[in-house]
Structure 1
Amino acid sequence: MFSRKSTLAALLAIAMPGAYAQQKTDVPVYLDDSQPITKRVADALSRMTLEEKIAMIHAQSKFSSPGVPRLGIPENWTTDGPHGIRPEVLWDEWSQAGWTNDSCIAFPALTCLAATWNKDMALLYGTSIGEEARYRNKNILLGPGVNMYRTPLNGRNFEYMGEDPFLAGKMVVPYIKGVQSNGVAACVKHFALNNQETERHGVNVNVDDRTLYEIYLPAFKAAVQEGQAWAIMGSYNKYKGEHCCHNQYLLNDILRKEWGFEGVVVSDWGGVHDTRQAIFNGLDMEFGSWTNGLSWGKSNAYDAYYLAKPYQHLIQTGEVGTKELDEKVSRILRLSFLTTMNKNRPFGSFGTEAHALAGRRIATEGIVLLQNKNNVLPLQVGSVKKIAVIGENALKMMTVGGGSSSLKARYEVSPLDGLKKRIGTQAEIVFARGYVGDASGNYNGVVTGQNLAEKRSKAELLEEARTVAKNADVVIFIGGLNKSDFQDSEGNDRKSLGLPYGQDTVIRELAKVNKNLVVVNISGNAVAMPWANEVAGIVQGWFLGTETGNALAAVLTGDVNPSGKLPFSFPVKLEDVAAHAKGEFPGTKEETYNEGIFTGYRWHEKQQIKPLFAFGYGLSYTTFQYGKVTADKKSITAADSISFAVTVKNTGKRAGAETVQLYISDVKSSVPRPVKELKGFEKISLEPGEEKTVRFTIGKNALSFFDTAKHDWVAEAGEFEAVIGASSADVKSKVAFTLQ
C-alpha cells in the first residue's frame, strides 16, 4: 500500500507534472510516462483492490465511470455523438443539466462526410470534433459509426458512412486518427450488424460468414488495424443468439484474436443482459443497464449492474476467478494512460469559428448535385430577380432530434437564412411553407425555440406555394426527411421510401407552374422521387449541422462547385433493394440477410436494375474527360502488386473536383461475386483545362473473397479487370490483367 507521502506524490504528479518532474525517481511506475504503457498498466493494476477494479468496469452516472481516486487515476467521461458533443445531462437522468456553456458546433452527419469521398475531410472532421470533446474533458467519443447501409429504411443510416465497406473503411481511419490526436478515444460503433432499429434490443441477425467478412466487418477491421481505435462499442442486436455487447464470436474470436484489438469494448447503453456472458465474452465497460438497484434497498442503482455487485459476488464466492476482471481493468487503464493520464494531451477548443468553418467546408464538399437540366444551377445571382424558397425544411432546425446524436448547437443557419445572407439585395427571396411536417422542436430537454405551429389547411398552404412559385424566376423547394420519429432517427425505422407529409404532391404542383424548379432533399437516406423527370434540378443536401444554410447557399449560387458523390444508391422503388426483394424487413425476432454479399450497387448490377441514382454518382458545374486506363503489367502473382493510371482533364470553364473510382471485376470465379467492387478512389482538383494523372496500386487483397471453408481470404488465379468510373454506373474504361 502507498504511504501518505507517496499518495500525495502521486496526486501531485497528476496535478502538476512539470513541478514534480525533478522528483521523478520517486514516481511509481504507473505514474512515470517514460515507462512503456504495459508496465504502467501492470503496476497500477497491482495496487488496486477488488472493489476498485469492479468499480472501474461499470458506470457511476449516465455518462461516466469511476477512476481510482486513491491512486490519482481520473474518471472516464464519455459523450455522444459522432456529429457533435452532446449537452450535459443530470448525473442520474437524461434531463438537461442546465449548463449555459455546453453549446457545441454541430458538424454534418456522417453520410455527408462519406459523400465527400475525401480522406482529408475525414481527418479535419475527426480533429475538429476531437478538440471539442477534449475541451469538455471527455475522453471517450461515442463514434464514429460504420454500420453498412443495407436498406434506406434504417432510421440510423444518417449516422453511418454508406453502403460500401471499402469507402467506409477508408473514411473512418483518418477520422479516428484526428479524434485520438487530441487524447480522446474514438469508440467506433455499433459492432456489429446493427442495420435496423425495429426490435433492436432483441432481434437476432442471421448472416453467413462470407457476407459478414466481406460486407459488414471490413470498416471495423480498418478502424482497429489501420485507425488503431482505442475503443469499440457493441451493438444492441443479437448474433448467433448472443447479444453483441457480450458476443463470443464477434468480440473474442474476431475482434481480439483475429484482429489483435487491444482497446476497450464499451456496451451500448442498456446493451448488457447477462453477468456471465459479460464476464467471459469480451465486454470491458458497462453503461446504461436497465437495472434498479434501489429495489434492493441500495443507495446506488449502479451497484446492480451486471458487472457490478453480481460480478463481485461471483468472485467472492469462488464461482469465477479474477483473470477476466484483470484483463478488463488493464484495458481500461491503458485507455486512461492514452487519454486522461497523458500529460501531453492538448487542451482542445470548443464552439470556435474555426470548427464552424471546418464543418462548412465538409458540408460543401459532401453536397451532391444529382440533376441539373438546362443548367438551372448555379443560380445566376444578379440576373435572377425573384427566387421562391418553399418547404418546411428551409427553416426547420435539424441539429435537435434524431436520438443520441441530438445536439444543443451554438447556432444553426437555416437554408432560408443562408440564401438571404448570400444573395442579399441582389434578388427578392419569397418564402412559402408548402407543407407541415413536424412543428415540434425539442428533444431530451433541448428546445429549438422555433414556433412552427400552423393553422392553415393543406389546400391553403399548397395554393400559397403555387402562387409564389408561379411569380418567381427560380423555385428552390427544400424538403425531404427530418429527425422526427420514424424518419432519420434512432429508435424506429422509416415506414416507407416515399417522402412524408404529402411533399410529392407539392413538388408536382410546383413543377406545373414553374419549369425552373430545384428540389433540395435534406435527408440521411435515399427517398423515392417519382417527380424526378418533372423538375429541373435535384440536390442531395444531407443534415449539414451548424453551417447548413451557408453551405447550401454556397453550392446553389456556385461559390463552391459541387463535388460530392453518393455513398449509397438511390433505388427507384423499395422492391429494388435486395433486403426487401429477398426477404422481409424489418425482422422482429429474426432477421436473415438472404441477399448475402449483394447489397447496394452489387445487387443492382447483379440483377441489372437501373437505380434512380447510382452509388458514387454526382454532377459538377464543370465537365471532366477521362483518358484510357493503363496497367503497368499484364500479369501478376499473389505476392505482386499492380498499378493503374488514368488521366482526367477539366474540359469546362470552372475549377472543380472529381472523384476517380477504381472497381475490380473477377471475370470468372468459382463462387458468385459482384460484377465489380470498389477498391480505390481519389479526389482531385482541376483548374479549367488542367489535366492530372491518377494512379492506383492494388495487391492480392483487392482480388480476394472470403472462403468460409478455409476461413480465410482467397484470390483465385485467372482473369480480372480494372474498371475506372465516375460512378458505379458510369464506366469510363477498363483494362484486363491476369493473376497467376
Structure 2
Amino acid sequence: MKQKLLYLLPLFLLSGCGQATYKNASLPAEERAGLLLKELTLEEKVSLMMDSSKPVERLGIKPYNWWNEALHGVARAGLATVFPQPIGMAASFSPETVYEVFTAVSDEARAKNAYYTSQESHERYQGLTMWTPTVNIYRDPRWGRGIETYGEDPYLTSRMGVMVVKGLQGTNDGKYDKLHACAKHFAVHSGPEWNRHEFNAENIKPRDLYETYLPPFEALVKEGKVKEVMCAYNRFEGNPCCGSDRLLMQILRDEWGFDGIVLSDCGAIADFYRDYGHKTHSDAESASAAAVLSGTDLECGSSYEALVEAVKQGKIDEEAVDVAVKRLLTARFVLGEMDEPEKVSWTGIPFSVVASAGHDSLALDMARKSMTLLMNKDNTLPLKRGGLTVAVMGPNANDSVMQWGNYNGMPPHTVTILDGIRKALGSDDRLIYEQGCGWVERAQIQSVFNRCKTADGKPGFTARYWNNVTRDGEPVTTAQVTTPFHFCTSGATVFAPGVNLTDFSATYNSVF
C-alpha cells in the first residue's frame, strides 16, 4: 500500500506544486503526451495502439474507438443527414459545395459525440477520428466500391479530397481540433476487391505512380494537412502497404513531411501472416513489429496484441512503440478527448444540427449539382407537362434503403425514386409502376405492400423494436415502415435509430 500511495502522489498531486503533469491542460498537446507516455507500462501502451483502445483507469484514460465513418454524412451511428455519395459529389465539380457539406458533417459528428460522451458511451462510430475520405483512383467501373471515390481523375480527386479534409477538420479553436480526417487507402488500391488481401501491385511504372495514384494523397497531406493516413490491404512492390518503408517512410514522411498518424485498414496486419493473405511474415509478432517499424502507429484489428511478446523477443524496441503511442496520445489531447467536455468549445455545437432542415436543404442542393446531363438530343428535356405517361420499373424504384448508399447514417425521412416522380407529375399525367424482378432473384414478383395499412390508416407497417431477443419490457423505439421490407445489417446498418445491431427483436403490424 505504501508503494501504491507513493506512486499516485506525483501523478495527481504535483500539478498543485507547480510541476508538469499530463493533466495540466495549459501545456501543449505533444508535451502532455510525452508526460503521460512515461507513466504507461508496455502492456498499456500496446492496448492504446488498436482501434478499440482500452481504458487505463489508474491514469484516468477513457476507452476510445478510433473507427468512425463519415463518407457522405456521419455513418453507422443512427440519425444523421445523408448526403450524395462521393462519386455524385465529384460530378458537381463544386469544391466549394463539398466544403459546405463536410463542414455540416463535422458539426453533426461533434454534436453526436458530445451526446454519446454525456451518456458515458465510447462505442465504435461515436468518436472524433473520421476514416474519410477515400481518394483512390476509380480506374475500373467494375470495382464495386468506386462509389466511395471522387472518380478517375487525380486532379479532381485532389481538389475534392482537400475540401473534404478542410470541412471535416475545421479550424483549431485556439486549443482543440474539431475532428481528424483520414486519407485512404494508401496506396495503389483501386480494386478489384476479391484478391485485395493478397494482391501485389508490382508493375506500377514510376510515372503512373507519381502522376495517377499519389497526387491526391500528397495534396491531402501538404495542402489539406490531414491528420491520419490509412495504409491499404494490398502489397506494393512486394511489401504489404502497412509494412512498406517505401510508401510510409520514404514517400509519406520523408518526401511529404507527414507527421500524423498512420493506421491500418481493418485486418491488414493479419494479412501479413495469415494463409489467405500475403504470407510475407511468419507470425503476429513479426508482422506487428514490421508494421510499427515502417510507421504504422495504429491497427484496426488485434494483431498488435503480439507487440508485447515482440518486444520481449527483441523483434522491436519499446522506444519504437513509444514513437507510435506518442502520436496517438497527442491526437487525443489535441481533440480534447482527454479533457473535460466543457473546456472544449466544439462540444457546444447543439444536437439540433443533426439531420436539421438546413442540412437537409444542403443535401438537396448537392444532389441537384451532382446531376450531369451528357446529351439532350432534339431538346427532349425538359419533358412537356400534361398528358404524360411515365413508367417506373425496377427493384430500386421504391426502395428507400438503397437511397442511403453505403457507409451511411439514417435520415429521418427518405423520398424514393417512385415517390419523387409521383409528386412531380400532374393530375392529368399517368404513372405506371412495376417492380419486376429483384436484384438477383430469378422469379418475377408482384408486391401487395401498397395494400397494407396500419390501424390508423397510414401506409405500410408499424414496427416496434426491443434491444433484447424476447421482446421484454417497453420497446426502445417505434417506427413506420413505408416501403417493402429490405432490412439488412450488413455494413453495420441498424434497422432503426436506437436499435442494436445484434440481439434485438421486433414486431411488425399492418392490415391487409
- The TM-score with structure 1 as length reference comes to 0.50
Which residue, 148, 152, 165 being the options, matches 1:163? Answer: 152
AA in 2 matched with 1:205:
A
**Corresponding residue for residue 620 of structure 1:** none
1:110 correspondence with 2:86: yes
AA in 2 matched with 1:216:
Y
Offset at residue 3 of structure 1 (A):
6.0
1:41 correspondence with 2:33: yes
Distance 1:134 1:429 in 2: 46
- Residues 197-231 of structure 1: CA deviation (Å, up to 9, x unaligned): 12111111120222111110010111111111111
- Residues 272-327 of structure 1: CA deviation (Å, up to 9, x unaligned): 13223222111111113xxxxxxxxxxxxxxxx3211x211122344421122011
Describe the shift of the 1:376–1:38 C-alpha distance in structure 2 as closer, same or farther (beyond 3 A): same
Which residue, 259, 263, 268 being the options, matches 1:266? Answer: 263
1:222 correspondence with 2:225: no
1:194 correspondence with 2:196: no
Offset at residue 456 of structure 1 (A):
5.6
Which residue, 19, 24, 29 being the options, matches 1:32? Answer: 24
Contact 2:392 2:418 in 1 (8 A): no
Distance 1:189 1:353 in 2: 31
Contact 1:278 1:307 in 2 (8 A): no
Distance 1:420 1:456 in 2: 19
Describe the shift of the 1:397–1:454 C-alpha distance in structure 2 as closer, same or farther (beyond 3 A): farther
Which region of structure 1 is more displaced relative to structure 2, 211-220 or 239-248? 239-248
**Corresponding residue for residue 415 of structure 2:** 413
Offset at residue 429 of structure 1 (A):
4.6
Distance 1:123 1:24 in 2: 44
Offset at residue 29 of structure 1 (A):
4.4
**Corresponding residue for residue 445 of structure 2:** 455
1:352 correspondence with 2:356: yes
Distance 2:393 2:20 in 1: 63
**Corresponding residue for residue 431 of structure 1:** 432
- Residues 35-74 of structure 1: CA deviation (Å, up to 9, x unaligned): 3333222222222221211111014xxxx32354333333
Which residue, 365, 371, 377 being the options, matches 2:375? Answer: 371
**Corresponding residue for residue 70 of structure 1:** 58
**Corresponding residue for residue 119 of structure 1:** 95
Distance 2:169 2:368 in 1: 25
Offset at residue 247 of structure 1 (A):
1.7
**1:121-140 counterparts in 2 under 5 A?**
121-137=97-113, 138-140=127-129
Distance 1:361 1:397 in 2: 19
**Corresponding residue for residue 143 of structure 1:** 132
Larger-gyration structure (1/2):
1
AA in 1 matched with 2:382:
P
Contact 1:76 1:140 in 2 (8 A): no
**1:229-628 counterparts in 2 under 5 A?**
229-272=226-269, 273=272, 274-288=287-301, 305-308=302-305, 310-339=306-335, 340-341=337-338, 343-347=343-347, 348=349, 349=351, 350-380=354-384, 383-392=385-394, 393-399=396-402, 405-423=407-425, 425=426, 427-433=428-434, 435-438=436-439, 454-455=444-445
AA in 2 matched with 1:221:
E
Secondary structure in 2 aligned to 1:150? Answer: coil
Offset at residue 135 of structure 1 (A):
2.8
The structure that is strand-richer by fraction is 1
The structure that is helix-richer by fraction is 2
Contact 1:120 1:174 in 2 (8 A): yes
Contact 1:148 1:215 in 2 (8 A): yes
Q: Which runs of 5+ in 1 are unaligned?
A: 11-22, 89-101, 289-304, 441-452, 458-482, 491-740
Secondary structure in 2 aligned to 1:236? Answer: coil
Describe the shift of the 1:145–1:49 C-alpha distance in structure 2 as closer, same or farther (beyond 3 A): same
Contact 2:438 2:444 in 1 (8 A): no
**Corresponding residue for residue 95 of structure 1:** none
1:175 correspondence with 2:153: no
Distance 2:74 2:239 in 1: 31
Distance 1:389 1:28 in 2: 72
Offset at residue 174 of structure 1 (A):
1.7
Offset at residue 9 of structure 1 (A):
7.5
Contact 1:235 1:267 in 2 (8 A): yes
User: Percent same amino acid at aligned positions?
Assistant: 31
Secondary structure in 1 aligned to 2:439? Answer: coil
**Corresponding residue for residue 48 of structure 2:** 56
- Residues 651-675 of structure 1: CA deviation (Å, up to 9, x unaligned): xxxxxxxxxxxxxxxxxxxxxxxxx
AA in 2 matched with 1:185:
H
Distance 1:334 1:344 in 2: 16
Offset at residue 400 of structure 1 (A):
7.2
Contact 1:76 1:336 in 2 (8 A): no
Describe the shift of the 1:4–1:311 C-alpha distance in structure 2 as closer, same or farther (beyond 3 A): closer
Which residue, 50, 71, 92 being the options, matches 1:82? Answer: 71
Distance 1:143 1:278 in 2: 22
AA in 2 matched with 1:44:
L
Offset at residue 178 of structure 1 (A):
1.2
Describe the shift of the 1:25–1:401 C-alpha distance in structure 2 as closer, same or farther (beyond 3 A): same
- Residues 224-275 of structure 1: CA deviation (Å, up to 9, x unaligned): 1111111111111111112212222111111111111111111111111322
Offset at residue 401 of structure 1 (A):
8.2
AA in 1 matched with 2:107:
E
Distance 2:232 2:149 in 1: 14
**Corresponding residue for residue 566 of structure 1:** none
Q: Which runs of 5+ in 2 are unaligned?
A: 114-126, 171-176, 273-286, 448-485, 492-512
Compute the RMSD of aligned alpha carbons. 3.2
Contact 1:29 1:39 in 2 (8 A): no
Point out which structure has higher relative CO (alpha carbons under 8 A, 6+ apart).
2
- Residues 324-355 of structure 1: CA deviation (Å, up to 9, x unaligned): 20111011112112222474351344222222
Describe the shift of the 1:153–1:279 C-alpha distance in structure 2 as closer, same or farther (beyond 3 A): same
Offset at residue 32 of structure 1 (A):
3.4
Offset at residue 419 of structure 1 (A):
2.9
- The TM-score with structure 2 as length reference comes to 0.71
Equivalenced residues, count: 401
Distance 2:35 2:233 in 1: 35
- Residues 460-479 of structure 1: CA deviation (Å, up to 9, x unaligned): xxxxxxxxxxxxxxxxxxxx
Distance 1:163 1:437 in 2: 30
